[in-house]
Amino acid sequence: MENSQKLKEIVREKYSKIAEQDKLQNASSCCGATNSSEEVYNIMQDDYSSIKGYEEVGDLGLGCGLPTQFAKISHGDTVLDLGSGAGNDCFIARHETGEKGKVIGIDFTENMINRARKNAISLGFNNVEFRYGDIENMPVSDSEANVVVSNCVLNLVPNKQQVFKEIFRVLQPGGHFSISDIVLEGELPEALRRDAEMYAGCVAGAIQQTEYLKFIEESGFENIQIQKKKKIVIPDDILGKYLDADQLESIKQGKTGIFSITVFATKPGQNQKPESKSQKQQEVCCPGTGCCD
């Protein structure tokens, strides 16, 4: 596989193109990035349409879970979405955190940032902002967020350990994250892992579930939980480009599994959000913190 910077450029180029596509095009491929399969159906994404706060304009069909549904977002929270795309999870998070809260989306694809900003403006959401940046080095202050969410993004990042360190840095003590991502059980064939297209398609960049959870623990998080897990079935006409018949059968028999997991973990410490109305009234009120009635 190419070096980290090369991989980032591959992902940036691919998702710049995806930003100009609609949901139907993306849903018929692997995370929107590979060529469409003859078996046209949504390979990874769960259905958002019934979730409160859902805005179709922000949904490009790129996720592999519903992290905002499990994120335990409270009214007035500051929520950070990593790899925010066209704004789908940000808009749902805004519904949960309310007008007194704040939602920040980060993406390193300018086309995505531009599309998300236009969507937020058209919806009149003035407490949702989108920042251009790399989630390995987030444009976010220390302890700025109560909650971090992300949907099918960390598997695209070469240095996943660094991302978890950054999540730890930007969360307040007592804050938490809920992240949906792609992980493996068993080893993918080398031909598939070497392919840059499948890396951009969310599969070749995935690591073992045990290693993924170890990175979270080593970053200092506690109360680590898998909130949801589902097997991902990649159509034969996609996998057949990389695997021989024996390798394809091995995956079908479950010797190697590709899974979507939604993981929750907390940063140690006491949540800094005010506990009562009297405490709120004693504090200096800053826009977006949720401290004012």
pLDDT tens-place values along the chain, 293 residues long: 457 787 778 778 877 877 887 666 555 444 544 454 443 224 566 788 889 999 999 988 888 899 999 999 999 999 999 999 999 999 999 999 999 999 999 999 999 999 999 999 999 999 999 999 999 999 999 999 999 999 989 988 889 999 999 999 999 999 999 999 989 888 777 777 666 556 555 676 788 999 999 999 999 999 999 999 998 877 777 777 777 888 777 777 777 788 899 999 999 998 765 443 333 333 333 333 334 43
In a domain, 86, yes or no: yes
In a domain, 281, yes or no: no
In a domain, 280, yes or no: no
The pTM assigned to this predicted structure is 0.83
Q: Which residues constitute the domain of residue 50?
A: 4-185+206-231+258-266
Looking up residue 50, the CATH number of its domain turns out to be: 3.40.50.150
In a domain, 38, yes or no: yes
Residue 62: the pLDDT is 82
Domain count, the chain: 1
Complete DSSP assignment for the chain? ---HHHHHHHHHHHHHHHTTS-HHHHHTSSTTTSPPPSS-S-SSPPP-TTSTT--GGG--S--SS-HHHHS---TT-EEEEES-TTSHHHHHHHHHH-TTSEEEEEES-HHHHHHHHHHHHHHT-TTEEEEE-BTTB-S--TT-EEEEEEES-GGG-S-HHHHHHHHHHHEEEEEEEEEEEEEEESPPPHHHHT-HHHHHTTSTT-EEHHHHHHHHHHTT-EEEEEEEEEE----HHHHTTT--HHHHHHHHTTSSEEEEEEEEEE-SS---S--SHHHHHHSPP-TTSS---
In a domain, 65, yes or no: yes
Residue 281: the pLDDT is 32
